[in-house]
Structure 1
Amino acid sequence: MTRRDRQFPLGGRQAWIVYVSALAIYILAVFNRSSLGVAGLLATERFHIAATQLSIFTMVQLFVYAAMQIPVGALLDRFGPKRLLLCGVLAMTVAQFAFAFATTFAEGVAARVFIGIGDSMVFIPLLRIVALWFPPLRIPMLSQLTGLSGQLGALMAASPLVYALHRWGWTPSYASSAAAGVLFALLVLLLVRDSPNPDHELDQIKVRAIARGVRAAWRTPGTRLGLWSHFSAQFGATVFALLWGYPFLVAGQGLSPSTAGTLLMLMTVTTVITSPVIGGFITKYPFSRSTLILGIVVAIMTVWGVVLLWPGRAPLPLLVVLVLVTAVGGPGSLVGFDLARTFNPPTRLGSATGIVNVGGFLASLSTVTLIGFILDRVAPGGPTTYTVDSFRVAMSAQYLVWTLGVVQILRYRHKARRGLQESDPEAYAALRAGQSIVP
């Protein structure tokens, strides 16, 4: 029996080799995604742009990412994770090189578009690898481990990239980070496999069948519950880390660049610590996953309310609490994927996961745009005129997005629970009893 004909055990040595290799691509993707967040003020100088134009960099990247999720989910069901991961890392590598040498606003935007395209082809295939290569009871915890490990990319963007940008400049820093993509592409080619069992390789699915799968996933209330959970929990941390957190802390709250970078690193550390806690909770209490999301969102809204209502600049301890609580939304949003897995059969898991992943990035896209638009209205002079009051008004836009998300979570939680109780009372009872169910 050749290696290609062999069936590998779920959760065995080969599973971990495949998973870690794919995970490395995700870490790189998070780094590329986050790399503009600490360079926002430098970007305004390099490209001679205002806040609205700066937000366009992140806006187009998030828009492309969100728009690609459902097609990527369908393509994943058609071609498998390995091919998508390879396409993703190659697209990001070329785009990051282009961004390193971009000198005009148009060139920079084009580069961020292709970073968004490449980024969109990484996370969903990685979750498919987890679902195929590991036993069902380990999937929730591994999903949290995936989000946790991806924060290594954000950590590298929060501190080492800040140091590199100030020491070596724009082009050497971004070009060096892009070079890593070549090595990561080799990892995919040599070590990643689509399935542990070649006898169950993905079928050649016709376009009409793919469309039916997407429609069926969308009609499932559990999928939309996952989408709105991801929508509500993720965007606060994403907006803060990807673009507006650093200017908010430096220009709005008067912190030094090094202190602001440290707080962004603290967000990553918080994600690392809370991810296994959340993973353990949803494994033990699967019926209460949406309740957990609601609690996280309300906590984030509350802390932001205190900071924005504080007279003048908020004290450093309060800002520490802000980044700690906001960071929990990142691993919390991954619960949305577990909800989609619960209510969809494996044959359309890629499509359902893609739909869920649209949520957080659609919310992030909207919020990034709103904040940039408001900043240009209240501080038309650009970054040099940003004040605590400017950011007080701009950051309040987040409450519009949170409110919409909470209303929709409550709506689809009721629909998902009622639908499961009517269609499969035994599965509903098992879920209430704390048992993980597989459609």
Structure 2
Amino acid sequence: MSTGTAAGGGTGSISLPGDPPGGRRALAVWGIGVAVYFVAIIFRTSLGVAGIDAAARFHINSSALSTFSILQLLVYAGMQIPVGVLVDRLGTKKVLGIGVVLFTAGQFGFALSHSYATALACRALLGCGDAMTFISVLRLGARWFPARHGPMIAQVAALFGMAGNLVSTVVLARLLHSAGWTTTFGGSAAAGVLVLVLMLLFLQDHPEGHEPPAGPQAGKGSVRRQIALAWREPGTRLGLWVHFTTQFPAMVFLLLWGLPFLVEAEGLSRGTAGMLLTLVVLVNMAVGLVYGQVIGRHHAARLPLALGTVAATAVLWAAVLAWPGHAPLWLLVTLCTVLGACGPASMIGFDFARPANPPERQGTASGIVNMGGFTASITTLLAVGILLDATGEDYRAAFSSVFVLQALGLSQILRLRGRARQRERERVVASRVETVHVPV
């Protein structure tokens, strides 16, 4: 079937013959994949609550501290397209299994690291494994659930990912100061071993009788052609820029610079700052459910939701940075509430790419989209670290870099939206004509 039919226009979606059935078994299998992603997010974001401790442990400045997250995300972003191609070729279970082994080894190695260089290598290894999780989970959902459930399935997967972030901000932050560095990071690595065992025993790529279409045959130029075909679709490129523009403000805040900003620039206690980081995560989880429901019923709401989130984020950041002295707590709470919508808004990028590509190209297209937000996050993490060192820890100047990337992403979204809309309409019409000739 064509994914474009089920995910298509704003008038609703239909299921063609061959659509996966969903049901309880689908939830169970997909739940194992989501559990892997949940653990990966715990490991990915664990540094966000340990930034100050890491600086003291490895005797590094702000630029060097930001390198941890930059390298991790650089590896993650650089692997998105190769991982997407691998998922399309090898299937979910193999790629996800490799990912679990890598990110668990990275987390355990980070726990034992005493030198900056070793710790960097471990974060890179973690990023490599992390890169294999989300695209695999998206593909797993597409193979086990009807296409009409695609937007909601993606948002729920992201919701559980944010629950992993919540574990970092609440549980790991407390353990770090009570049990110490090695025990906290080393103990958390046991979760990777647990999900690996569950995945090897129970995960299955697709339900019986719903084998995916044969992917492109390996050979000279086939990978390049797979990537080129996905990139050629305006919906894929629009999805990338939506992801680029919406994800990074919250990612940068949660992954590294939120706690130092709230404590050092805004004068909050670490406890209060931790509560605000938790608020970002909780709002993300709630908004994700709302966005998934809205987009599942009204595809025309995709772009307004994304643009509205970008605008609200820019306004709140401007208000906080322009406030003389320390911003009031109510304004910081409002900022963190709006940042909570950034993750769900970034998932809208996949909802532009999904109907633009056939099933056998979904992994590749998702990899291209997923590069967007992480590329923006890497750039901003680096810019904030450099500007902090250059300006004597002036967080207002450093966080002003957010507006530059938002402006770039917004210009590309506005440029591509018309072409993507027209192409999607063409695919929906073609799919409906095709459906008329499908025997029932």
Structure-1-length-normalised TM-score: 0.91
What residue in structure 2 maps to residue 343 of structure 1? 356
What residue in structure 2 maps to residue 216 of structure 1? 229
CA distance in 1, matches of 2:156, 2:416: 27
Which range is displaced more, 284-293 or 317-326? 284-293
**Paired residues, number:** 414
CA distance in 2, matches of 1:328, 1:307: 17
**Deviation per residue, 1:317-373 (Å, 9 max, x gap):** 110000010110101100111111011111101100000000000000000000000
Shift of 1:288: 3.1
Q: What is the one-letter code of the residue matched to 2:405?
A: V
Q: Is the 8 A contact 2:106 2:122 kept in 1?
A: yes
What residue in structure 2 maps to residue 167 of structure 1? 178
Q: How does 1:232-381 map to 2 (within 5 A)?
A: 232-379=245-392
CA distance in 2, matches of 1:82, 1:357: 20
- Identity of counterpart residues, as a percentage? 45
Give ranges in structure 1 of 5+ residues lacking alignment.
1-6, 380-385, 431-439
CA distance in 2, matches of 1:160, 1:340: 35
Q: Rate the CA distance shift 1:63–1:353 in 2: closer, same or farther, 3 A.
A: same
Q: What is the one-letter code of the residue matched to 1:411?
A: R
Does residue 122 (structure 1) correspond to residue 138 (structure 2)? The answer is: no
Shift of 1:260: 0.8
The secondary structure found in structure 1 opposite 2:196 is: helix
What residue in structure 2 maps to residue 196 of structure 1? 207
Q: What is the one-letter code of the residue matched to 2:410?
A: V
CA distance in 2, matches of 1:337, 1:29: 20
- Say which of 206, 210, 230 aligns to 2:218: 206
Shift of 1:281: 1.5
What residue in structure 2 maps to residue 40 of structure 1? 51
Q: What is the one-letter code of the residue matched to 1:225?
A: L
CA distance in 2, matches of 1:118, 1:242: 17
What residue in structure 2 maps to residue 141 of structure 1? 152
Does residue 426 (structure 1) correspond to residue 438 (structure 2)? The answer is: no
CA distance in 2, matches of 1:95, 1:156: 18
Q: Is the 8 A contact 1:420 1:428 kept in 2?
A: no
Q: What is the one-letter code of the residue matched to 2:91?
A: G
Q: Is the 8 A contact 2:141 2:153 kept in 1?
A: yes
**Deviation per residue, 1:220-271 (Å, 9 max, x gap):** 1100000000000100110000000010001111111111111111111101
What residue in structure 1 maps to residue 405 of structure 2? 401
**Deviation per residue, 1:109-150 (Å, 9 max, x gap):** 101101100000000010001111001111211111111111
Runs of 4+ aligned structure 1 residues displaced above 4 Å come to 427-430
Q: What is the one-letter code of the residue matched to 2:147?
A: P
What residue in structure 2 maps to residue 62 of structure 1? 73
Q: Is the 8 A contact 2:212 2:360 kept in 1?
A: no
What residue in structure 2 maps to residue 100 of structure 1? 111
Structure-2-length-normalised TM-score: 0.91
CA distance in 1, matches of 2:309, 2:187: 37
Q: Rate the CA distance shift 1:73–1:308 in 2: closer, same or farther, 3 A.
A: same
CA distance in 1, matches of 2:373, 2:210: 36
Q: Rate the CA distance shift 1:248–1:429 in 2: closer, same or farther, 3 A.
A: farther
Shift of 1:8: 11
Tell me the C-alpha RMSD between the 2 structures: 1.8
Shift of 1:202: 6.3
Q: Rate the CA distance shift 1:176–1:206 in 2: closer, same or farther, 3 A.
A: same
Q: Is the 8 A contact 1:79 1:202 kept in 2?
A: no
The secondary structure found in structure 1 opposite 2:340 is: helix
**Deviation per residue, 1:172-209 (Å, 9 max, x gap):** 10000011111110011011111113562564731433
Give ranges in structure 2 of 5+ residues lacking alignment.
1-17, 434-440
CA distance in 1, matches of 2:47, 2:20: 41
CA distance in 2, matches of 1:271, 1:53: 29
The secondary structure found in structure 1 opposite 2:189 is: helix
What residue in structure 2 maps to residue 3 of structure 1? none
CA distance in 2, matches of 1:104, 1:425: 55
CA distance in 1, matches of 2:61, 2:214: 49
Q: Is the 8 A contact 2:355 2:424 kept in 1?
A: no
CA distance in 2, matches of 1:151, 1:199: 30
Q: Is the 8 A contact 2:32 2:198 kept in 1?
A: yes
Shift of 1:152: 1.1
Q: Is the 8 A contact 1:66 1:357 kept in 2?
A: yes
